[in-house]
Amino acid sequence: MQLRRTHRRALAAAFTAGATAAVLAAGMASSASAATVFSDDFNDGDASGWSKSGGTWSVVTDTSGVFQQSNAGSELTRQFAGQTSWTDYQVQARVKPLSFGSSSSLVGLSARSASSTKMYRLALLGSGQAELQAVNGSQITSLGSASVGAAAGSWYTLRIETAGSTIRGFVNGTQVGSGTSSLASAGRIGLVTSYASGSFDDVAVDSSGGTTPTTPPSTTPPSTTAPPTTPPPTTPPPTNPPANWPTPTGNYKVDATIDVPVSLDGGLKRYYGIGDGGQGESQDPMFVLAPGATLRNVIIGAPAGDGVHCEGNCTLVNVWWEDVGEDAATFRGGTTYTVDGGGARSASDKVFQHNGGGTLYIRNFRVESSGKLYRACGNCSTSYQRHVVMDNVTATSTKMLAGINTNWGDTARFSRITILNDPNRTTRICVKYKGVPKGSEPTEIGEGADGTNCLYSTSDIIWR
């Protein structure tokens, strides 16, 4: 996924348009202990940092920049942002319904989104009610509701507070629902519509609830912790990458993102049908893996949208990408990720995008006709230190194996790398960049083994 610029501003300025003094007094600005961990007013014209699931979303102008979902016929649309590890926090946004298809249609805000279908949601309904809901797939439990006269064309300030098992919802500073629930203990924020269209603005998250991990400024280098030098001990010993691509045992048309809470074994079926097969941003992922989940024996065909999203630690075993669209897989929110076996081809930009912290292990893998096999994000909103360990990888017609940000302490370690059909040795093994704050573009500053960030010797790379 190519990362673009998004304007973030301080919480004190985040609620200027349409916010009343009562809302500010009752809302997040009143907490002296609050720490802003996320804010977006969309005034820069894009929605970088948000992850779409369904709907037609775009940043448009409504006095100022707003994030709008315009397809009122979509059953359920969502945009997610933030970290899966966020626990106790407050999220606030201005929300304007544009149309309701029925009395049960909704436009709303979510907190602790543990997956695309599990969350706490504060919804403005077509009936005029506001309802605080615990959502677990098709099972929706009301934690309280009130009549707020919700009407299309008007702005409302919605706020959800989470503290332990207590969830509270506010509309324009007035509490409309409160309850206790153990449905989700942590998760991202979200913007949601169902059979409705709506606009969203001035989204802000603070940690006055108590335990939200704060996001360090992108200009502050992370701690320098050396990556592990060997794969996790619980994984099987390496085997050679398969010489041939597998033949699918069947085909499975995918119409919406598949959530993988624990594990999914695809039996080497070909999954296809998400996105347009191009490099366009904000395409839906094919699979979203919850923290700790495993995806195995899957062939991902075209179109595949944004491939696989790992929301925390994850394992991909024998997963094949026949034609990488936006990215093959994006890793975020965890500390250890493993890709064991499988392969990817036809990635015009990159195969694996590493947005979170921690270490990605890539072993027993084939990459063909691609730009980069791995890229550590160089301009994400959080400047994590990131590591990649590649072992037993075969590359054909691939420009770069790894791109890392040395000013943040990133490392790339290589062993048993085979480069095929490259007599002039043009494949770049390890390219160094200078990571920059979100909104800027990282610059290339060098390449090659150095014993500090790019870790390999000539014997680790075989040219055939």
Kindly write down the DSSP assignment for every residue of 162-218, as one continuous string.
EETTEEEEEETTEEEEEEE--S-SS-EEEEEEESEEEEEEEEEEE-TTS-PPPPPPT
In the chain the domains, ranked by start, together with CATH numbers, are 11-206 (2.60.120.560), 251-463 (2.160.20.10)
Q: Tell me how far apart the alpha carbons of residues 191 and 307 are, in angstroms, rounded to a whole number.
A: 22
List CB contacts of 16: < 8 A, sequence separation 6 or more.
Answer: 202
Q: Tell me how far apart the alpha carbons of residues 260 and 111 are, in angstroms, rounded to a whole number.
A: 20
Once rounded to an integer, what is the mean pLDDT over residues 125-152?
A: 93
CA-CA distances (angstroms) from residue 327 to 275, 303, 348, 370? 12, 11, 9, 11
Judge whether residue 267 has pLDDT over 70: yes
Judge whether residue 121 has pLDDT over 90: yes
pLDDT tens for 283-327 read: 889 999 999 999 999 999 999 889 999 999 999 999 999 999 779
- Average model confidence (pLDDT) across the chain: 85
Percent of the chain with pLDDT over 90: 69
**What's the confidence (pLDDT) of residue 151?**
93
**What's the confidence (pLDDT) of residue 403?**
98
In sequence order, which ranges of 402-449 are alpha helices (DSSP H)? none
Q: Tell me how far apart the alpha carbons of residues 339 and 209 are, in angstroms, rounded to a whole number.
A: 36
Q: pLDDT class for 59, splitting at 50, 70, 90?
A: very high
Coil, strand or helix at 270: strand
Q: pLDDT class for 171, splitting at 50, 70, 90?
A: very high
Q: What value, to the nearest 5°, has the Cα angle with vertex 55 and ends 50 and 60?
A: 65
pLDDT tens for 219-239 read: 334 444 444 454 444 444 445
Give Cα 214 to chain centroid, integer Å. 17
Taking alpha carbons only, the member of 327, 323, 320 closest to residue 279 is: 327
Q: Tell me how far apart the alpha carbons of residues 35 and 292 are, in angstroms, rounded to a whole number.
A: 28
Percent of the chain with pLDDT over 70: 83
pLDDT tens for 440-450 read: 999 999 999 99
**Running DSSP on this structure, what letter comes out for residue 411?**
E
Q: pLDDT class for 243, splitting at 50, 70, 90?
A: low
**What's the confidence (pLDDT) of residue 344?**
97
**What's the confidence (pLDDT) of residue 432?**
98
Let me know: does 86 contact 187? Beta carbons within 8 Å.
Answer: yes
pTM of the model: 0.54
Taking alpha carbons only, the member of 307, 311, 304, 319 closest to residue 337 is: 311
Q: Tell me how far apart the alpha carbons of residues 205 and 374 are, in angstroms, rounded to a whole number.
A: 31
Once rounded to an integer, what is the mean pLDDT over residues 341-363?
A: 95
Q: pLDDT class for 52, splitting at 50, 70, 90?
A: confident
pLDDT tens for 371-410 read: 999 999 999 988 899 999 999 999 999 999 999 999 999 9
Q: pLDDT class for 275, splitting at 50, 70, 90?
A: confident
pLDDT tens for 78-93 read: 999 988 889 999 999 9
Return contacts of 334-339, CB within 8 angstroms, 24+ apart.
334/291, 334/310, 334/358, 335/359, 336/232, 336/361, 337/310, 337/313, 337/361, 338/231, 338/232, 338/235, 338/314, 338/363, 339/363, 339/365
Q: Per DSSP, what are the bridge partners of residue 78?
A: 53, 192
